[in-house]
Amino acid sequence: MPRRVTAWDRANNSLSEFHLRSGPSLLEQAYPLPDVFFTPSNDLKVSLLLMWLRLRPLLQWKLSLPTRMKGYKNTEWRALFEAIDGKKVESMKARGNMLKELEELCRQSGLVFQLNDLPLPKWSGEVVHADANGQLDQRLVKEIFWELLEVNFRTELITLDRAVVPEPQGDSDASIVMRDQWMDREQLINSCWIGHAHRPLVTSPGLSSDHPHEYRLRFLKALATVLQSWPGMKPPELEKPFPDMRSIVFEIEVRKLEEAMAYYYTRKFLLTFHRPATIPHVSPYESIFNE
């Protein structure tokens, strides 16, 4: 399993006592979380992971649309994979609804995609096969899991931003100007990573590194700008300009800023959606940035 970025892991853990007392979740996962693919005894369910890879192109297309994709609970994701795989699941009604939604996605997408004849599972353009023991390469599994976590982190950040800074309403000239400015937030948020939110690059992970280094700083600065624009009380670190690289205590200041950002974000997410946030996890390729 990919390792959590340290500052964000500490922030989430500091709120753990509130996780079960925050009420029913108001936001489900855009992508399944990795624990969907494990049995209660912690064995990897290879068939479910391969099923995910077969559905992935369709769901990537859906996430690329401007409308927010409906998410599912982890139990619903697992039921969906098992249902398409021909297995019986407990929640037949939920399964039926999810299958109908996917069938409608197939129709809308224009992709050559049918649930009874899914494409072969692929990763990085290559067909994925289990080995003679029915297992998958562990590096491959880590990359897949990292993508699931990273997409959820990014889509959650976008969703929280829209909740905290909602789209201006009205037809007045002032409202139209404000709406145009609000639309610019998409570009601001997308500067927090490389590429599209729904297609993270494992070799260019952005925030998903555990080291304060030049490559990572611009993404931290972009996220700080997003959080600073949110209304309401913020930690003192977010009320100040981004640390000056010429300062002799620059790395200490950056570390303190990220700790404050992580706590502020995870707390805001918990209060807004009544569940823990998905946090950045270290990319399996992090080592290439430390050479």
**Residue 35: predicted pLDDT:** 93
Tokens standing for 67? 């409308």
Q: Which region among 17-26, 197-206, 227-236, 273-282 has the lowest average model confidence (pLDDT)?
A: 17-26
Query: 189 and 125 share a domain?
Result: no
Question: Are 54 and 92 in a shared domain?
Answer: yes
| Residue 121 Cα distances to 38, 125, 168, 169, angstroms | 18, 9, 42, 43
Across the range 74-94, mean pLDDT stands at 71
Q: How confident is the model over 218-244, as pLDDT tens digits?
A: 999 999 999 999 999 999 999 999 999
Same domain, 262 and 152: yes
32 three-class SS: coil
How much is the mean pLDDT over the chain? 85
Instruction: Check pLDDT > 50 for residue 160.
Output: yes
In a domain? residue 34: no
Q: In the chain, how many domains are there?
A: 2
Instruction: Select, from the ranges 2-6, 79-83, 176-180, the one with the highest average predicted confidence (pLDDT).
Output: 2-6
- Strand-pairing partners, residue 72, are 29
Q: Is the pTM of this model over 0.75?
A: yes
User: What angle is formed at CA 81 by the lines to CA 274 and CA 57, rounded to 5 degrees?
Assistant: 90
**Residue 32: inside a domain:** no
Structure-block tokens of residue 113:
């995609």
Same-domain pairing of 103 and 236: no
Give the structural domain span for 112.
45-135
Q: Is the pLDDT of residue 114 over 70?
A: no
Q: For residue 277, which of 142, 106, 134, 161 has the smallest C-alpha distance? A: 161
Tokens of 225: 């700008």
Secondary structure class of 83 (helix, strand, coil): helix
Q: Is the pLDDT of residue 289 over 60?
A: no
Name the band, by pLDDT with cuts 50, 70 and 90, for residue 259: very high
Q: Residue written as tokens 């925050």?
A: 22
Contact between 50 and 30 (Cβ < 8 Å): no
> What beta strand segments (E) does 80-203 contain?
122-123, 126-127
Is 254 in the same domain as 153? Answer: yes
What SS3 state is found at 122?
A: strand
In this predicted model, which residue has the larger pLDDT, 113 or 242? 242
